[in-house]
Structure 1
């Protein structure tokens, strides 16, 4: 029941909380508390939103439009499934905090700040589990909104529990904060309207049984570019506030994983028509999705990179991309780079960036810049072939100023790997020649996507002939730095070849696991809101 005009505050009261991570169920890595940045309380949580701190008039207006109450927000680099006890602890803290805030002064709205592809050990729908517990604490009357990554999943449970849902419209995600700002602004308006006796927004959901990696759905290329370009026209229609297209998360084996279209607004018929129109457009393009770059096995990519005149030539080690949940330590590419004769002879300079390997990073720090030692690199988390790679290396640079923990750039030496059996032992070959290969190891899983990350170790995105990076599609700084680029279809927990991973629990039929899927109809539309 809404409060009377005499007792209603001038501004709606909104709480904020959430857990944001993208989790592969196919990687052996488990994400724990140490992987997350955790913020508690209103000021800490609001400081994470740049539009609240950049001094802009628009940001100040949004900040002043509501009374915000921050509870807890945890965010991590994509990884493996979250340890159950860690999740349950934060869930209890969020639920208890929201219940206390709602009991003190009733909340008008709640912003569910999530990624949308979190997996928790033992749960099929982690966000659905969390929002169900939150709804039990704050009740059915509070208006709930969320703003998500387009690689998230929209389960029926999540859809039913939220009044407003929106997601990014670009991949790479250049509009991440713009999306959250839009989501918050729409939530403030809806919460104020409902508090004053108005209706909740209408909403419509259509699932489309397509499950594709982001590397096939980048908005840089067709058909995703045109598909997302349709959204502004749809949202400009009378009765429609927002329309969103979730590609879904390909590297989790859960029934909720599939594409989803959601529309919200004041007009029930207009909202349903917009959702069905965009879902039909997605279905019509179902066979048109291609990789964002030319692809091949890593050996094929490396052969082409070495033969090319384009410098630097970038190769994505896409199967172990930590930005999608990969372990960040498979050595499939490293072993092949180290064995390549042109690189070994220093005729071609090559960079492998990066592998998480705290033991090797610590050994490098012990040796110091210029120190030479034998190491066993990688293969400690995801131990698939070839496992740890024995190398003799010289420490080229050290840094611990960034989010990677201890990081070391290691120049590989041209000695037989048999001399590198004792990991961490000094290499007594002062005259050993350097190869053309440099490998970066870190104390924490990380993704080297910006110029600043490279600069901390005195490296440049354009300073090598060949750069192999644990990525899928290239982020803006990488994309601009690459003279040419290939997407290597490598093994790992986020393998681009989905059929190799062994999904068994997703809904079927589903592209690409099946040749065809049915077209969406009005019978597929799930509706809600308006009351």
Structure 2
């Protein structure tokens, strides 16, 4: 059995003006994938796909593996180069039994607002209508008509924070093998809701998402269903494709039953729309600091939600740091401020040096840096030997007043508190740790005595009504609280997608 695979993962924050280039994707071509190990395990769904197929004895043919951290709009040249590489691999692969691809589902290029749909449509043109294609998606994906028309089935992350990435890939590979071995003709239907959600009010560890995910598992066991999922969309992208979708796949002969099942799932979520509230205690910045300082024991972990790199923000705003200094807070840590020039200055000066830094940006709408006199406590190099880590990079730890600051060489996702240990930092030494994050990883939640959201400004502001959309399709909840979802109209739209579809 011969299966082609590939990876194109990017969650695009269109409010971040810094473009995403080909270099940001670190593309690996063909067999280069197997020269690395960073993708194995739970790093991303690619590991689950490849390792499951290999265990089953399939020949895995890698095309292009391209993953970039969440950031601004992808430049056209980068997307087109990746697309050309994937299509070249498809053409050169010879006879295939199927394709299992790892996608995000919320990528935007400058001239192509739906790159994943565009790519999979191009692949479908190459391989014809019969070859089964299964894709993984992030939970915060958008399911466009073009993507649905090009792919037979999807598996989607079922956890937020995303701790099941490997499992999602494993399920995709197993689903593809089932389709191939049973020679099934499979389709996916999507019931869409006019709804905007951010991860901070749809964590799967709290209600209502916890019960909704439990229902996903139950739905997947129904006789006519091969797989069922929710795709919640990504609110920090200004596109016309915003929606929350219930995805159900099964045999094409069961189209009407699949449609009704997806509508039932969508209806359950729609009924709970007013229950999607922030999953942590949420305060203004000053109130969050007040609450943290009242705690008898620490550390209290405070999310700097507006400058969250895991949702695409620049991660260089100094507002949180400045407020801590203005209030004379001590035994505090800011993790992290991404500033390559400041890191380079610290590296050159060395541990123990005192120097003046022009650090980060003071406000989202300005490039003015924060002028600070810092003591360099330590400098750390060689922390990302593979060059592919999203969770660690070279950094310096500096002290300003009573606040320690991690000055990172580039943006990273502060998912793993083990990074603090790599920098010689002990969480117990602090009473407040400010993390540039939205919802916290299980590691940070377990580390803190309490966790809070601070409503800070930035490219990932979680108060969605403060974002300025130009392409957003209206009406949509909660931007318009009187938004109506019509189940019968949605059913007609869903079934209409399959009229005249090529056999």
Assess same fold via TM > 0.5. yes
Residues 202, 271 of structure 1: 8 Å contact kept: no
Structure 1 match to 2:273: 286
The residue correspondences of 1:59-78 to structure 2 (distance < 5 A) are 63-78=55-70
Structure 1 match to 2:41: 50
C-alpha separation in 1, matches of 2:354 and 2:84: 49
Structure 1 match to 2:207: 222
Structure 2 match to 1:393: 374
Q: From 202, 207, 215, give the equivalent of 2:192.
A: 207
Residues 27, 492 of structure 1: 8 Å contact kept: no
Residues 22, 77 of structure 2: 8 Å contact kept: no
Structure 1 match to 2:147: 158
Q: Which runs of 5+ in 2 are unaligned?
A: none
Instruction: Note if 1:187 corresponds to 2:176.
Output: yes
C-alpha separation in 2, matches of 1:350 and 1:282: 40
Structure 1 match to 2:132: 143
Question: How many residue pairs were aligned?
Answer: 484
Structure 2 match to 1:323: 310
User: Following TM superposition, by how much is the alpha carbon of 1:520 offset from its aligned partner in structure 2, in angstroms?
Assistant: 4.5
Structure 2 match to 1:409: 397
Structure 1 match to 2:285: 298
Residues 449, 475 of structure 1: 8 Å contact kept: yes
Instruction: Note if 1:524 corresponds to 2:501.
Output: no
Structure 2 match to 1:118: 107
C-alpha separation in 2, matches of 1:137 and 1:269: 29
Q: Which runs of 4+ in 1 moved over 4 A?
A: 58-62, 527-531
Q: From 11, 21, 32, give the equivalent of 1:32.
A: 21
User: Following TM superposition, by how much is the alpha carbon of 1:60 offset from its aligned partner in structure 2, in angstroms?
Assistant: 6.0
C-alpha separation in 1, matches of 2:64 and 2:258: 33
Instruction: Note if 1:308 corresponds to 2:274.
Output: no
Structure 2 match to 1:430: none
Instruction: Note if 1:453 corresponds to 2:423.
Output: no
Residues 118, 126 of structure 1: 8 Å contact kept: yes
The C-alpha deviation readout for 1:126-154, integer Å capped at 9, x for no partner, is 21122222222222222111111111111
User: Following TM superposition, by how much is the alpha carbon of 1:448 offset from its aligned partner in structure 2, in angstroms?
Assistant: 1.8
Instruction: Compare 452-461 and 222-231 and name the one that shifted more.
Output: 452-461
Residues 14, 108 of structure 1: 8 Å contact kept: yes
Structure 2 match to 1:506: 472
Structure 2 match to 1:20: 9
The C-alpha deviation readout for 1:156-207, integer Å capped at 9, x for no partner, is 111111100120111111111101110111012213433xxxx411432111
User: Following TM superposition, by how much is the alpha carbon of 1:61 offset from its aligned partner in structure 2, in angstroms?
Assistant: 6.8
Q: Which runs of 5+ in 1 are unaligned?
A: 1-10, 413-434
C-alpha separation in 1, matches of 2:464 and 2:426: 33
The residue correspondences of 1:239-388 to structure 2 (distance < 5 A) are 239-266=224-251, 267-341=254-328, 343=329, 348-379=330-361, 383-384=364-365, 387-388=368-369
User: Following TM superposition, by how much is the alpha carbon of 1:469 offset from its aligned partner in structure 2, in angstroms?
Assistant: 0.7
- 3-state SS, counterpart of residue 112 of structure 2: coil
Q: 1:499 to 1:383 in 2, by over 3 A?
A: closer
C-alpha separation in 1, matches of 2:263 and 2:54: 32
User: Following TM superposition, by how much is the alpha carbon of 1:405 offset from its aligned partner in structure 2, in angstroms?
Assistant: 3.8
C-alpha separation in 1, matches of 2:32 and 2:218: 36
Residues 240, 473 of structure 2: 8 Å contact kept: yes
User: Following TM superposition, by how much is the alpha carbon of 1:444 offset from its aligned partner in structure 2, in angstroms?
Assistant: 1.3
Q: 1:215 to 1:78 in 2, by over 3 A?
A: same
Residues 194, 485 of structure 2: 8 Å contact kept: no
User: Following TM superposition, by how much is the alpha carbon of 1:522 offset from its aligned partner in structure 2, in angstroms?
Assistant: 4.3
The C-alpha deviation readout for 1:437-486, integer Å capped at 9, x for no partner, is 01111111102221321111101333311111100010011010111121
Q: 1:249 to 1:150 in 2, by over 3 A?
A: same
- 3-state SS, counterpart of residue 172 of structure 2: helix
C-alpha separation in 1, matches of 2:463 and 2:52: 46
Residues 211, 248 of structure 1: 8 Å contact kept: yes
User: Following TM superposition, by how much is the alpha carbon of 1:273 offset from its aligned partner in structure 2, in angstroms?
Assistant: 2.7
TM-score by length of 1: 0.86
Q: From 66, 77, 80, give the equivalent of 1:85.
A: 77
RMSD after superposition: 2.5
C-alpha separation in 2, matches of 1:517 and 1:357: 42
C-alpha separation in 2, matches of 1:202 and 1:134: 17
Structure 1 match to 2:461: 495
Residues 330, 384 of structure 1: 8 Å contact kept: no
Residues 243, 262 of structure 1: 8 Å contact kept: yes
Q: 1:218 to 1:60 in 2, by over 3 A?
A: closer
